[in-house]
């Protein structure tokens, strides 16, 4: 849950922050699990690691009210969608959970931008 004491966070920003941290956790878990499944999972691992970094950075930018957080939100949403599409190709539970979380994160990033 985003800190309610951060007074510049809109409701959309708070939801996006929460979803970004959840996406980072899901991606770290998924990437770690994918390492056990061989070379066919290499792209999934790379995308998950990138998204984990991007979503964490985006949440940090929102917390400090960076002027760059809107631009990063779009990149974050695009990366989440690309990674979710990759994860959906595999039947592993971690990939399916990750894909669901990433779709939600992408949607909240886009909702925040349009609010």
Domains of the chain in sequence order: 11-114 (1.20.1270.360)
For the record, the structure tokens of 78 come out as: 């695009």
pLDDT confidence of residue 115: 84
pTM above 0.85, yes or no: yes
pLDDT tens for each residue of 2-17: 556 667 888 899 999 9
- Scored b (16 or more CB within 10 A) or e, 93-103 reads ebbeebbebbb
pLDDT at 1 over 60: no
pLDDT confidence of residue 88: 98
Percent of the chain past pLDDT 70, that is, above it, reads 95
């Amino acid at each position: 849950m985003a800190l309610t004491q951060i007074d510049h966070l809109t409701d959309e920003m708070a939801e996006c922050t929460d979803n970004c941290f959840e996406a980072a956790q899901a991606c770290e878990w998924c990437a770690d699990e994918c390492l056990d499944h061989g070379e066919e999972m290499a792209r999934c691992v790379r995308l998950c690691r990138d998204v984990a970094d991007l979503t964490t950075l985006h949440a940090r930018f929102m917390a400090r009210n960076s002027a760059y957080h809107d631009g990063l939100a779009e990149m974050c949403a695009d990366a989440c969608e690309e990674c979710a599409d990759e994860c959906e190709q595999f039947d592993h539970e971690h990939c399916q959970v990750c894909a669901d979380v990433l779709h939600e994160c992408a949607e909240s990033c886009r909702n925040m931008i349009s609010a």
